Structure 1
Amino acid sequence: MKLNEKLLQLRKERGLSQQQLAEQLDVSRQSVSKWELNESIPDIQNIVAMSELFHVSTDYLLKDEMEKNQADDNRIDIILVVSTLIIFLGLVLAYTLWNYYQNSICLYRY
């Protein structure tokens, strides 16, 4: 979802008109309209003000693919867990083989 779609959705969820949002941000109603139509982009001060007003992060407002990034993070977490398990199993197998080898050498000596 793009910034303009997020602004429109958040404004409507809060039950605000473009005029009411404009007044809270101290901008014109036309500015809000242009942001929602993707004809212009709000400056950084207005992005921060909207993040506080709507109780969302600036990352949420600015990043188009937040959901995709979260899926990538989950995939990385799974890869880390699986690779850690493989390394652990390899260490257990190596210890078991080493222990078996040491015991078999002791048996041959006597």
Structure 2
Amino acid sequence: MEFGDKIKELRTKNQLTQEKFAICLNVTRQAVSNWENNRNLPDLELLILISSIFHISLDELILGGTNVNNMTEKLIKDSSKTRRAKLNMITTLIGSFLLFFGVACLFIKMNSVEYIDTSGKLQENFYLLPLGFLFIFVGIIVFLVTGIRFIVEIVRTRTKGE
């Protein structure tokens, strides 16, 4: 059974009009109509509210039986997109921090004082140069890999959709 059919059946069984059901969910009547005609699907918070109104489990509401329907596919796809977005955000933050630390190392090296101590040794912060360049290089690599993965994913979803 499709999700829209399940919503309509539950609503009519509980003698609710689309208008009354929409008021219970704090949405418009058109939203309920779109769900029942399988034009749109409610978000997760509304699914939880619907299951509590009709006193059924989320499994029964979403799956409606043993077959996977469009609601289940939407939830799986949304969770996959969320995971990818979080991964992209984390890698972007890591790349940003690496670039920042690299630039900071180079800035500190530029502004540090080099001197010769009493024993005749040159005192300088030479290690900051390779460290700064390493951070910048790794940050750029992280950005490139994240960007390429993002572009590949966009191309992959567009070719699947066509």
Which residue number in structure 2 is paired with residue 15 of structure 1?
Answer: 15
CA RMSD of aligned residues (A): 1.6
Query: Shift of the alpha carbon at 1:8?
Result: 0.2
1:14-43 Cα shifts (integer Å, max 9, x gaps):
000000000000000000000000000001
Bigger relative CO (Cα 8 Å, ≥ 6 apart): 1
What is the TM-score normalised by the length of structure 1? 0.58
- Choose between structure 1 and 2: higher helix proportion: 1
**Structure 1 stretches of 4+ moved >2 Å:** none
**2:22 maps to 1:27:** no
Query: Shift of the alpha carbon at 1:61?
Result: 1.2
1:72-100 Cα shifts (integer Å, max 9, x gaps):
xxxxxxxxxxxxxxxxxxxxxxxxxxxxx
What is the TM-score normalised by the length of structure 2? 0.40
Which residue number in structure 2 is paired with residue 100 of structure 1?
Answer: none
SS in 2 for 1:27: coil
Unaligned runs of 5+ in 1: 69-110
Unaligned runs of 5+ in 2: 68-162
Query: Shift of the alpha carbon at 1:67?
Result: 4.6
1:46-88 Cα shifts (integer Å, max 9, x gaps):
1000000001111111114x256xxxxxxxxxxxxxxxxxxxx
Which residue number in structure 1 is paired with residue 55 of structure 2?
Answer: 55
